[in-house]
Amino acid sequence: MMRRLFIWWTMIGLLTGPGIRAVASPDTLQLSRFHDQAYAYDRAVLAVTSPARSFRNIRAKADWQPLRRKQATSAQRAYWMRWVLENDTDSARTIYAFVHDNQTATVYLVWPAHVDSLRTGSMIPARYWPAPYSDQYVPMQLPARQRVTLYVRLANAPGLLPALTGTDRPRPSLGVRIETDVYHTQNRLNDYQKNSTELLYRSWIQGALLFWVLFVGLIYARYRQPIYHYYWLYGLAGCTFALLKTRSYTPLGYWIGQVPLLRAHLPETIMWLCLAAYLLFISELLNLRRDHPGMARRLRIAAAGFAGFGILYGSVLMLTNDGGLQQVVFWGTRFLLLPVYVALLVWVGRRVRSPLMRYVLLGNGLLGGVGLLAWLRAGEVILKGVTLPGGIDNLMTVSFAVLLEITVFALALAHRIQLVDQARQASQTAYVEEIEQRTAYEKRLAEVEMLALRSRMNPHFLFNSLNTIEYFVLKGDEEKATRYLSSFSRLLRLILNHSTEETVRVSAELTGLSLYLELEASRFDDNFRYTIEIDATVDTDDVLIPPLLLQPFVENAIWHGLQHSQRPDKRLWVRVLPVDDQTIRFEIEDNGIGRAQAEQLKSQSVTSPKSLGMDITRQRIDLFNRNYPTQLDLQLIDLNQQGETGTLVRITCRLNVPRFVTLQPPH
């Protein structure tokens, strides 16, 4: 009796107990008895095939088996799950299939009259996602009182080229589940709330990196120095790495998801390019090309190797999508590169004696420390399921580590600019002192040269004057000889007084010139007339010129212009005229034979002595212009008008003209 009761009780329990198996086949999910979520482990059957097997082939023939909760998977296989969904309610329902983190997930909905297929997954372009906000959800519309067979295919995405390794990485995940509309909405809200702090921190880091890239790019565009170029490349690589890690539910993440291969495999290439730019930046920051050329050459070779390896490695990954190769290189290079990199820093730190080295060590310490914490957190070695106050754990990312390091390097650049500026100022000071010493030396040399020229010109004038006195004595004209000797002694006293002066007043110069003209007129029996005209607006006591500036031109006009002329009215004019407030003009004009005929006569005469006064005066004017603010300009003009001949000497004197010397510091 008890045995019969137990059997009946068991049968009733099987027919009316909890769950939905009592009223449906084992692979059917009825929505009226479905709440929140249901995993495929509880409802679906599984078929494991090659990735090339088609859906039609699966429907026709497949070896279905129960899906175990800890089913092992392989990257070389495709996994099919099948179960039946039945909307046994009186209204249409929307449910969601969560396909977990798989590269490709294809959902087939087999209706009585047609088949719908939907694709999603991390290797499916975002424009094909059924749910635009995520690559892990597939929404499904089930009309009232409808039954549909659900097939889900999970597999890795094939590459354009076969994989180089046969490892089971990454493995497809069979953690597929079905969610109700209400549960799905609540779950998304919880995820957004949970990730809001991370999104805030990530957006702040990305914004800071973008600003940094723009700012340094503008600096490089302005100065075009290699150090800013490498600094910009390093920041650009870090910024690109951060942007590629953007979550898919953000607008930026959605657009990056349009090219899933780049999002999956480009970060590794970016990391190697970042390392290459970093080595080149360090070389420029520490001035290794100047101070340690051998070390700089090795770092350039290492940077080229890192960049070449990164480009080759990224290209192979994007062509093969070989997850096994990615895992091997990811961990292998980190375990191999870390000690090599530390050894490289120690080697550079011991060889390079630079105040900027501490910034390099600090930046690398921050990058290595925060980066290591980020890898440990991503691998769930630390802080698994733990949220620190203020979301500090969200700062444990490689992007934040790069931001910290480029901030330290900004301080290093500021320090370097300060050092360069100090060195430039020291060089500028030394250069200015050298220029001042050189200028003083050149000025003294010019003064000595001017004194030598005056010493050459004074005997020249004395010789002519003594010849005149001798002429009067031999002629027996004692009165003229006495008067000439008196005027000559006054002129000689004036010349001697001016012999030690670098400049004289125009009034003193005109006084000496008047004495000289008086002597010359007496010598030539007053056969020419002279006139000295001084404009009343010219203050002759306020203008300084070289001594004996006008006398050689007057002498040249008398000896070579007037004495050879056959004119009865030989004339000589000396004028002092104003041009403007800062300019006066000296004019010496004669109506003699002119320069061309005078040169011809001198060339025909073998006994004519060579005149040195004009050449010496030209040299004195050049030296004066180089050493004094007042500038002299000489013009010789031939006067040939209506058969008349003559010569006009015009000396323009520009007063107090500032002369600026542009000092170019040595590079």
pLDDT over 60 (residue 482): yes
Element (H, E) at 485: helix 478-498
- In this prediction, residue 612 carries a pLDDT of 59
Looking at the structure, do residues 228 and 311 belong to the same domain, yes or no? yes
Structural domain harbouring 517: 431-654
Helices (H), 25-145: 55-60
Asked if residue 358 belongs to a domain, the reply is no
**Interval 120-144 mean pLDDT:** 94
Looking at the structure, do residues 499 and 626 belong to the same domain, yes or no? yes
Kindly calculate the radius of gyration of the chain based on its CA atoms and give it in whole angstroms. Answer: 51
Asked if residue 460 belongs to a domain, the reply is yes
Asked if residue 390 belongs to a domain, the reply is no
Q: Which of 352, 377, 404 is the last residue of a domain?
A: 352
Distance CA 663, CA 667 (A): 12
Measured CA distances, 591 to 72, 420, 560, 572, 595 (Å): 122, 67, 11, 7, 11
pLDDT over 90 (residue 386): no
Looking at the structure, do residues 244 and 310 belong to the same domain, yes or no? yes
Asked if residue 387 belongs to a domain, the reply is no
**Interval 516-538 mean pLDDT:** 85
The one-letter code for the residue type at 662 is T
Phi-psi category of residue 390: left, alpha or beta, with phi > 0 → left and psi -120 to 50 → alpha: left
Looking at the structure, do residues 160 and 219 belong to the same domain, yes or no? no
Strands 115-120 and 104-110: antiparallel
pTM: 0.63
Copy the structure tokens of residue 661: 């010397």
| CATH code (residue 132) | 2.60.40.2380
- In this prediction, residue 397 carries a pLDDT of 85
Which of 33-47, 202-216, 386-400 is modeled with the greatest confidence? 202-216
Asked if residue 586 belongs to a domain, the reply is yes
Looking at the structure, do residues 142 and 203 belong to the same domain, yes or no? no
Per residue in 319-351, pLDDT tens? 999 988 988 888 888 788 778 878 888 888 888
Looking at the structure, do residues 167 and 263 belong to the same domain, yes or no? no
How many domains is the chain built from?
3
Looking at the structure, do residues 150 and 211 belong to the same domain, yes or no? no
3-state secondary structure (DSSP) of residue 69:
coil
Asked if residue 664 belongs to a domain, the reply is no
Neighbours of 102 (CB within 10 A): 29
Q: Which of 352, 379, 397 is the last residue of a domain?
A: 352
Query: DSSP string of 384-412?
Result: TT---GGGGGGG-SHHHHHHHHHHHHHHH
Looking at the structure, do residues 436 and 334 belong to the same domain, yes or no? no
Looking at the structure, do residues 50 and 157 belong to the same domain, yes or no? yes
Q: Report the DSSP beta bridge partners of residue 571.
A: 529
Per residue in 190-247, pLDDT tens? 988 888 888 888 899 999 999 999 999 999 999 899 999 999 999 999 999 999 988 8
Asked if residue 650 belongs to a domain, the reply is yes
pLDDT over 50 (residue 116): yes
Per residue in 394-422, pLDDT tens? 788 888 888 999 999 999 999 988 988 88
pLDDT over 60 (residue 8): no
Q: Which residues contact 128 (CB under 8 A, 6 or more apart)?
A: 119, 120
Which sign, positive or negative, has the C-alpha torsion 276, 281, 282, 286? positive
Asked if residue 531 belongs to a domain, the reply is yes
* Token pair 């006064």: residue: 613
Q: Are 144 and 90 in contact (CB under 8 A)?
A: yes
Q: Which of 331, 352, 373 is the last residue of a domain?
A: 352
| CATH code (residue 577) | 3.30.565.10
Looking at the structure, do residues 207 and 347 belong to the same domain, yes or no? yes
Measured CA distances, 20 to 9, 92, 525, 532, 657 (Å): 18, 20, 149, 134, 108
Model confidence at 663, pLDDT cuts 50, 70, 90, reads: very low
